[in-house]
Amino acid sequence: MQNKRIRTLHIIIILLIIVTIISLTFAGAMGALYVKEVGEVSRLRGEKEQLIVDQALPVLSVDVENGTIGNLEPGMEDQDMESAEGIAAAGEDVQLNLDDAGIAQLMQSKEAEVEQSIKDRMKELVTKEDGSPLKMLRSFFPENLIYSFEDAYVFAPVLENVNKHSLLDENFEKTEDGLMQYVENGIVTSHTGIDVSKYQGNIDWTAVKEEGIEYAFIRLGIRGYESGKIVLDEYYDENMKGANSAGVKAGVYFFTQAVTVEEAKEEAEFVIQNLTNYDVACPVVFDVERISGGKGRADQMTKEERTAVTIAFCEAIKAAGYTPMIYGNVVCFTQLLDMTQLNDYEKWYAFYDDYMYMPYEVSCWQYTEKGRVDGIPNNVDLNISFKIW
């Protein structure tokens, strides 16, 4: 943990140095341009004065510092200070007294303002109620997906040829009950859902429906991360019957540990066989997340292998007439899968916070694992979707 803090401090210091260098370069360029423009103005002023002399016209000069006017036409002697200030504001023959030292002082002032602005912004991001060094880094590097992984910060580039969403951060709102909504022009356009497995126990699906839950992803089964054996979730049938009966739209998900395309097809066939007796309006989901706290049989797969396995499952589901979807977190969508090959499939994104940190197009966002819903005795995952199936 101490190493992570040191690395974070180093990153912040490097960031300040880079921004300072950029600011100095910009200020220098602007200073040089300003000097050039002052010279051009002086040249034009000289030509103007010479033209006035040639035409035997009186020269009007304004002393901005003292606010007085010299060489006035007859009858103008009684004009007040406002006349001088008006002439100066209009740019009439004002003598500029800005030498090299003045320009340097102006540049230093601007550099100090930029540096202080950056410091203030960094302090705000870190010290506010929901602030963190990670959130600060994400603010300064929008071209990367930044996250903590194995005691280090990862800067994954945002891929140009992966579909992006058009959702706006300011449109996300939370209700008093802790439910996330997406609101456009005062209208809620998102949909509220949950996902459940045996860990939620016996569910009163009628109460869930009355709570306003529109859909549920129900775990159909898993492949053992050590044994490789495919197992049906012991509450699957009960949950599917309950959701269908209560009018809660149902989808399913399968936790994979397939290490070959053949195993992925086997998992897809198992899923399809167990869908036949139910109304499955929502997608069939391939859960590719890593094992937490253990060593999974799929942990050593390459990105190319895991992507091929994912495509094999999704294509088999699509061929059976269902909508395939891929579930994962930021690690899955940057390290485990080649997202450039998966644009054709819907995504379900897991990220537990009050903002959706993901530029790629997703259909559904799982934003907490500690939700509470009437009819469910234990904590439950809450989801917001941007479409309904």
Dist CA 258 CA 310 (whole Å): 9
Both 374 and 236 in one domain: the answer is yes
Both 302 and 253 in one domain: the answer is yes
Sign of the dihedral through C-alpha 209, 211, 212, 213: negative
Both 214 and 168 in one domain: the answer is yes
- 79: pLDDT strictly greater than 70: no
List, for residues 259-281, the tens digit of each pLDDT value: 999 999 999 999 999 999 999 99
Which tokens in the block code for residue 266? 């086997």
- 215: pLDDT strictly greater than 50: yes
Assign residue 303 the CATH number of its domain. 3.20.20.80
Dist CA 178 CA 372 (whole Å): 9
Dist CA 85 CA 66 (whole Å): 10
> What confidence score (pLDDT) does residue 111 get?
79
Assigned domain for 149 exists? no
Which tokens in the block code for residue 251? 């989808």
Both 93 and 57 in one domain: the answer is yes
Q: Is 382 helix (H, G, I), strand (E, B) or coil?
A: strand
Q: What is the pTM of this model?
A: 0.70
> What confidence score (pLDDT) does residue 117 get?
76
Nearby residues of 82 by Cβ (< 8 Å), 6 or more positions away: none
Both 131 and 219 in one domain: the answer is no
Strand 284-287 with 346-350, pairing:
unpaired
Sign of the dihedral through C-alpha 2, 4, 5, 9: positive
Assigned domain for 34 exists? yes
Dist CA 305 CA 291 (whole Å): 17
Range of the domain at 79: 2-140
Both 126 and 179 in one domain: the answer is no
Helix residue ranges per DSSP H, 59-99: 81-89
Assigned domain for 152 exists? no
Question: What is the percentage of the chain residues whose pLDDT exceeds 70?
Answer: 71
What is the average per-residue pLDDT within 335-356? 97
Residue type, 176: E
> What confidence score (pLDDT) does residue 67 get?
39
What is the average per-residue pLDDT within 96-121? 72
Contact 380, 373 (CB under 8 A): yes
Both 165 and 230 in one domain: the answer is yes
Assigned domain for 151 exists? no
Nearest to 329 by CA among 154, 196, 208, 200: 154
List, for residues 169-201, the tens digit of each pLDDT value: 999 999 998 999 999 999 999 999 999 999 999
- 84: pLDDT strictly greater than 70: no
> What confidence score (pLDDT) does residue 112 get?
78
What Rg do the C-alpha atoms of the chain give, in angstroms? 33
List, for residues 113-154, the tens digit of each pLDDT value: 877 776 676 666 555 545 577 888 898 899 999 998 888 889
- Phi, psi at 279, each rounded to 5°: -85, 110
- 286: pLDDT strictly greater than 80: yes
- 105: pLDDT strictly greater than 70: yes
Both 113 and 169 in one domain: the answer is no
Both 121 and 10 in one domain: the answer is yes
List, for residues 223-246, the tens digit of each pLDDT value: 999 999 999 999 999 999 999 999
Choose between 148 and 165: higher pLDDT: 165
> What confidence score (pLDDT) does residue 23 get?
62
Q: Which residue has the tokens 């300064």?
A: 140
Of 77-86, 99-108, 133-142, 365-374, minimum mean pLDDT range: 77-86
Which tokens in the block code for residue 291? 């094992």
- 85: pLDDT strictly greater than 90: no
Q: Indicate the number of domains in the chain.
A: 2
List, for residues 16-50, the tens digit of each pLDDT value: 666 666 665 655 555 555 555 555 545 555 554 55
> What confidence score (pLDDT) does residue 86 get?
42
Choose between 112 and 329: higher pLDDT: 329
Residue 109's pLDDT band, with cuts at 50, 70 and 90, is confident
